[in-house]
């Protein structure tokens, strides 16, 4: 069932969902496949379509991935401001941190986890190559999240499991050829508790918009 939101509504109200993920309601494979099929219409450099999407339902594998995430989250959360500097107001940072901690503690409860991948290794490449590589994957991931949102399903964009040797551990667990493939994150997939999401508070456009020069 689709929510029949307008394109603008989907774009403005697709949030990283953590505390409102419904861990008790199953997610149908057919719906996820439908959303991924939509995601494949995203732009990709040279039309090479070097993306791969691993959807994990197996309980033992979800738990193992969650443990990788939790170990890295514990380190990340110990850094000043959770590694996030002072970009957010203190009260907003507290809410984000609390929400992220909740997800860390419950990651494996999501009916599915999705890890998007792109061909090639991107950790030590030049800026142009990196931009081309990520630009060939992340638009598709965002399209996937938008498609989920219009079907009452939520997710959260996370990259914590990639820290340290977490990406390599996940690759070993899932049979990903680490030397040839780069992971782009890990996304819980679950129906949301309610669908009434609102636009987030953002800094005003004039503080980030530049015409003709910085």
pLDDT in tens, 155-200: 999 999 999 999 999 999 999 999 999 999 999 999 999 999 999 8
Averaged pLDDT, 82-110: 77
Query: How many C-beta atoms lie closer than 10 Å to residue 126's C-beta?
Result: 8
DSSP string, 2-26: -----HHHHHHH--B-STTB-TTS-
- Output the pTM of the full model: 0.92
Q: Which of 37, 173, 30 is CA-nearest to residue 108?
A: 173
| 107-139 pLDDT, tens digit each | 999 999 999 999 999 999 999 999 999 999 999
Q: For residue 89, what pLDDT is reported?
A: 57
Three-state DSSP state, 192: strand
Residues contacting residue 182 through CB under 8 Å, at least 6 positions apart: 117, 118, 119, 120, 121, 122, 123, 133, 167
Q: How confident is the model at residue 96 (pLDDT cuts 50, 70, 90)?
A: confident
Query: CA 19 to CA 80: how far, in whole Å?
Result: 24
The CATH T-level fold of domain 7-195 is NADH Oxidase (3.40.109)
> How many alpha carbons lie under 13 Å from residue 180 in its C-beta half-sphere?
6
Query: CA 132 to CA 40: how far, in whole Å?
Result: 17
What are the residues facing 190 on neighbouring strands? Answer: 154
């Amino acid at each position: 069932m689709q929510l029949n939101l307008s394109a603008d509504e989907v774009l403005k109200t697709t949030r990283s969902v953590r505390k409102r993920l419904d861990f008790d309601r199953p997610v149908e494979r057919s719906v996820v496949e439908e959303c991924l099929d939509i995601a494949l219409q995203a732009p990709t450099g040279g039309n090479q379509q070097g993306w791969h999407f691993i959807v994990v339902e197996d309980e033992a594998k979800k738990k193992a991935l969650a443990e990788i995430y939790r170990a890295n989250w514990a380190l990340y959360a110990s850094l000043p401001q959770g590694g996030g500097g002072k970009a957010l107001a203190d009260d907003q940072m507290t809410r984000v941190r609390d929400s992220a901690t909740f997800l860390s503690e419950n990651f494996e409860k999501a009916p599915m986890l999705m890890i998007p991948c792109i061909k090639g290794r991107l950790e030590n490449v030049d800026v142009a190559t990196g931009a081309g590589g990520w630009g060939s994957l992340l638009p598709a991931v965002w399209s996937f999240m938008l498609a989920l949102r219009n079907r009452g399903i939520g997710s959260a964009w996370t990259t914590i499991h990639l820290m340290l040797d977490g990406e390599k551990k996940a690759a070993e667990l899932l049979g990903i050829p680490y030397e040839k493939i780069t992971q782009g994150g890990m996304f819980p997939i679950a129906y949301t508790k309610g669908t009434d999401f609102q636009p987030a508070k953002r800094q005003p456009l004039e503080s980030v918009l530049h015409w003709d020069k910085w």
